[in-house]
Structure 1
Amino acid sequence: MSQHPGSYCPNCRAHLMPEQRFCANCGTVIDVGAHQPTARPPSMEGWASAHNDGTVPATPPPPPPSSFPQQPPSYYTGPPIKDSSKSVMRQIGCGLLSVILVVLLLCGGVSYLGYNWLRGLANSPSSGNTGSTQSSNSGNTADSTPTSAPIKTTSLSGSRPLAFIYSDVKITLLDVKQAASFSDGVTPPKPGVIRISFKEEQDGTKAAYYSYSDVMRLILPDGTIVAPITAKNGTVTDASTNRQNWIDFPASTDLSVSNMVLRVGTDAEAQMQIPLKANADVSKYQPKTVTLNKQTTYTGLSWTLTSAFVRWSANGKHAEKGMIYVITSLKVDNTSAQDFYGSPVDYLRLKAGDVTSAPSGDTTVPLVIEKGKTGATGECAFLVPQGSTDFSLIFLATPSISGSQQATIPFQI
């Protein structure tokens, strides 16, 4: 196939030279016979042989070089060209993996936040989960409003007050409350609190000092003795106390209050057993008074035992174990010609059975009674064995009092 001037490559449209068999730009084969050796026609061979005088080449010269850059033909067999498709695929794979990891992290974070939100909603009071709220509140502490159960109240008021005197403080029991716990108290290890409410009254003459945690115990129906866990006012220190108070004991709310006993007094003191029921008989713990008006003469003075009374406490102290106080009230008239000097601790004694006791604590009998003084008064307390009924007030003959001779006033309570 021959070319005509001004022809173009059918592949890249590059300009072709006459008789050009390959496109210098893209390497496209222009003449399909270019792959085969060019055969001369017989007439040409004969002509070349006949006319070859050494100036005509046996074969036509190759086409002149083109000014266009040479491109490898489609059958190019040079060094392998690097394939970038694998690098591209690796980059795409890494990017896809990063996207997947980000998506997984986002999904995990959203799931975690959602779980916590649902958990908080389930535990909140507004979610209606009252069971869990009550369970957590039951561990708190209470006064008149329990945290997990209603209060059961047993009144101790009746036709006669449930009252007694401890260390010169009058205590009147008011009621007993039972609850799982109280908001202003202390929650015991096991649910259940017995709260005893009472009123305190002091006469103001002598301050008492004691702690309710030391002097009060609750005896349960089965005989178990329980110590208190807390009190509104745990101690008494004011000589003019007049207030409401309460004390808490750990005990099941299923127990019957009427079968419980409040024990008052330490192991070294005379203990009082107070039944927790209205109108209980506590008369043996009440003061007993007897009017006597019995007289004797001692050192020329007239002494009158006007009265005597039995108490479980005196001078701000509670009686010792097995003992009780007997307090004598005296009136003295000094009609002699001289003043009287003497301390009751030196010359006064109280005999109860086989026991003779000296004055206990402070006395109010005057140390000096002037001559001509009448109507001087005072009291003197003695600790005697419980159960004593026959007594003798003894005025001792003592060298410390001039002209003293023993005198006695017997009496009964």
Structure 2
Amino acid sequence: MMRRLTSQWVQVLTTSMLIAAAALSLGNVALFAVYMVIVIIAWLYWNNYPLPLSLGVTALLSLATPPIDIMLTSISILLIDNALKMGNERPWWFYAAPLAASTSLAVILRQFYIAASFTIPLLYILLISFINAIRFHTVIIELRPSRNLRINAGSELSYSLAVTTKPPLRAVVEVKAPGNLRVSPARLYLNGEAYINVSARYSLGGVKRPRLIITFTDMRGLVRVRRVVRHPRITVIPRARTAIQFARELLAQSALGAEDIREVREYTPGDPIRRLHWKKSAKLNRLIIKLLQGPGLTGPIILLSYATNPTLVDRVGEALVYLTAELLTRIPRIEVISVNRDGEATNYVLSRDNYFEIIERALGEIENLNVRLVGGGDYADVLSTIKYSIPLRIRGMVREGVIVIGQGLFVEPICNAFKERIVCISV
């Protein structure tokens, strides 16, 4: 409603100035006719073409009788300003260049009043653009997240981000983020403060401070300034660290006597009383016995302590921690054989007493080969050497029940070589 009233007011002002200019040029029939035609066009089509009409009206008003032309073109700045705010995608020089050319031509032709008339809107365009450019370049930008930015590697974190400017600015803002961040909306209106929704996902642990590219466009569309701002810190917990925390809780629960109940059945004479499931018995109104998972036996774990990139190094470590922690709730000791890229083996024996010390040491030995795969291989052919030499070197370690953990690229040849004798866990 307000925009419609403003548009009608501008139409009235435009036609009034054109009629006044026409009245002053009654002696020039051709110019008078042009003014009257433009009056009709401006009244009918102002809402459809505000910017071209405002510039055309300004040019015509400069032809009015001096010095009235200077007064009318000064007032026409209101028309140009309103038209720019209604929608403009052209930069400042698109409007400044023809105005400057017209001013120069008028000076050459010694039409100084006309030159002064064109100078007024030219100065307006230049001044407002300069002021906004300075403000956009010097404003302080602050980013405030709505929550603590802490995330596990591979998980997604969603939050809102407040974009604040000091001093407050009114502008249209576009936000461009790197691939690990998704922002919406990417384009929004800023009035001192604005909010965007962000989703973050990182596959590798560490403290992240990605760069956001924020583009400010003034309300008239004349000036666009791009600023680079650091995102607040995002703490990404590596998968292996998350797994160690899980292992700590799992082993603590197991140490307190937690039981792994796989099945229940009805009580029969001779069953030990300590295995009664009291809650289930009370619910079913008959005695129920807990059937527990037996500890079972497992062979050693062979850890292929190398991977092609940091993300896979983290995932191999994660798999090792989860597996060993689960096994330690069932058996007292686990043997882990860490095999490096050269086939050299290091033996570890994990128990509840030394678990966290030994597991940290084993995780620290997982090597990042830093090899980029191209078409399934690498330029130096390092992977082929490792893939086909390691199965030969660990042949003496393989026996029934052995578990092999590693990157799928390296585990697959070992699984194919020993088939059903081993259990393969690949990441």
Shorter-chain TM-score range: under 0.3
As a proportion of its length, which structure holds more strand?
Answer: 1
- TM-score (normalizing by structure 1): 0.27
* Structure with the bigger percentage of helix: 2
Compute the TM-score of the two structures, normalised by the length of structure 2: 0.26
Greater Rg over alpha carbons, structure:
1
